[in-house]
Amino acid sequence: MKSAPWWKEATIYQIYPRSFFDSNGDGEGDLPGVTSQLDYVKNLGVDAIWLSPFYTSPNKDGGYDVANPRDVDPRFGNLDDAKELIAQAHKRNLRVIADIVPNHFSDQHEWFQAALKAGRGSKERERFHFYDANPDGTTPNNWISLFGGPSWTQVADGQFYLHLFDSSQPDLNWENPEVNADFEKTLRFWIDLGVDGFRIDVAHGLVKEDVLTNHPDPQGLSDALRLDVAMDSEVRNALLLTVPYFDRQGVHEIYRKWRKLFDSYGQREIMAVAEAWVHPPVNATRYVRADELHQVFNFDLLTAEFDSNVLFDVVERSISLNATVNALPTWALSNHDSPRVASRIGEEQARALALFVFGLPGSTYIFAGQELGLPDGQLQDSDRQDPTFFRTNGQIKGRDGARVPLPWSGDTTPFGFSTGKPWLPISQSWKDLTVESELANPKSSLHLYRNALELRKEFLVGAGGITWLESSQHGHKGDSLLSYSRGAITVVMNLSDSAVECDADGRLLIVSGGTVDARDGKKVIPARSTAWFLA
Ligand code: NOJ
């Protein structure tokens, strides 16, 4: 029997290279730093690493502003360092996923510099979205950037260019075949260098429609797209159906072409995962149709409350929608764009949710530091670097809190991350959250993750679908418990603030916090905790 492709139920560890490990004392993590810690990564029990961008970049948006997608930024090392990282990862049977950024380039990319020089009407400008101002001098349309402020910036000769993100990130014009040709070259470049897959940034944004048409409610739309702005869900959902620059049909044509390119590498099983924030949720499944990409992120758990109804809906919907295209879901509790899960829902809850999710079918993504139970870093405004902070005049604090470097060892900040001054300060209060200190503590979050991932591999990967035992629609305790069985394992999460009895059969394998007691033949699950039982 042919075994499932490596990515199908892989556990993938996201590394933000700037924050992982600094090998040269300049205060910023780098590729040799990642390489030096691969044993740590391997011992976690993950199957692959996803590296956030490390390409040549002025770093206005944490490297998602790429000036040369086929080279390494000196702050991270050089191409030989990338090759060595990949070789060392492969030696440990870890796959490597690179992050590709096709929606935009940096304004420092040679194409954009050439477009500025070549002027209006030139073929150089056709690689981007350059338009003349309206007769009254205003921007070509009223769209608002996802980082705040107008999504247009004017150049010296009066034309405007479109940027859905920072003004230093001009959007590429995917109607121009040169753009796809260049990206295919980039994909091949990294595959030939050894990478095993790609995370596709803003995968839903490449194709724009009606660029010269105003949106009826640009501020509402901008708020609806912003997860940190509270909004009635019906209003939000209605607005999200009107985004003129996301999830257009044309993006699927691009991924069909890319799939052929990936498949041409045969046995290497090159995979791609789409970052696609789309609405309604069923649209996400289009990215993982058989002839498109392999996975699409499910972002629901980045914002879901720790509530049994909410979590049941998220899990059930993701599994069933993906099933319609014969795909498996993905799960992520944190990433470099969102508050860390331990800060968002609480430390015990974060552990419980992780253990709950590790049992589910599909692929799990873990953001480096999540395994340590790190909270968001507490930063002063003077520390902040996220363009969102600057483009909203400080009204939105931005994503730096999740990007504070990892604490590795010792009793004093910066805890072995760097011999220099870290690019974001690491709080002294993280003393007990270092890798070293958690390795020495059998009850630490790190041990929970390591043990759980080992058990997941042994009992759950490839074990098929789940059967709900407790939820709002199953069992009797669905307000406080969520429970499913899968293969020989029963997973029970107690979301409430007191211990709850359950009927789970079998031997306790692991618990995320507290102690599971037995009472009158029943198991008692501690508050805010998840347990796995083996039948
Ligand atoms: C999504 C990335 O995850 C985020 O960090 C970045 O700012 C935007 N895309 C723009 O590239």
Please state the three-class secondary structure of 401-435 as a single string: HHHCCCCCCCCCCCCCCCCCCCCCCCCHHHHHHCH
| 363-367 vs 330-332, strand pairing mode | parallel
Q: How many CB atoms lie within 10 A of CB 411?
A: 11
Question: How many Å apart are CA 144 and CA 131, to the nearest integer?
Answer: 16
Q: Tens digit of pLDDT for each residue in 297-314?
A: 999 999 899 999 999 999
Annotated active-site residue in 9, 47, 65, 201 = 201
Q: Is the CB of 147 under 6 A from ligand 1?
A: no
pLDDT at 30: 98
Could you confirm whether 136 is annotated as catalytic?
A: no
Q: Which residues contact 511 (CB under 8 A, 6 or more apart)?
A: 355, 525, 526, 529, 530, 531, 532
- Residues in the chain with pLDDT values less than 50: none
Q: According to the model, what pLDDT value does residue 1 have?
A: 59
Mutation pick for ligand 1 pocket among 59, 65, 99, 165 (CB with most ligand atoms within 8 Å): 165
Tell me the pLDDT tens digit for each residue of 52-71: 999 999 999 999 999 999 99
Centre of ligand 1 to C-alpha 31, Å, is 20
The amino acid sitting at 7 is W
- CA 221 to CA 237: how far, in whole Å? 10
Is the distance from the beta carbon of residue 337 to the nearest atom of ligand 1 less than 6 Å? yes
Q: Could you tell me if 401 and 340 are in contact, meaning their C-beta atoms sit under 8 angstroms apart? A: yes
Give the global pTM: 0.97
Question: Residues 420, 42, 74, 112: what is their CA dihedral angle, to the nearest 10 degrees?
Answer: -130
**CB–CB of 366/444 below 8 Å?**
no
285 in Cβ contact with 329 (< 8 Å): no
Cis peptide before 280 (omega within 30 of 0): yes
Ligand 1 in contact with 183 (CB < 6 A)?
A: no
Distance (Å, whole) CA 397 – CA 19: 19
Q: Cβ(165) to ligand 1 under 6 A?
A: yes
**Given 28, 275, 292, 376, the catalytic residue:** 275
**Atom number of ligand 1 nearest to Cα 147:** 7
Residue with tokens 């049992």: 359
275 is catalytic: yes
CA of 208 to the centre of ligand 1 (A): 18
Closest-CA residue, ligand 1 atom 11, reads 64
| CA 281 – ligand 1 centroid, Å | 20
Residue 533's φ and ψ, nearest 5 degrees, are: -120, 140
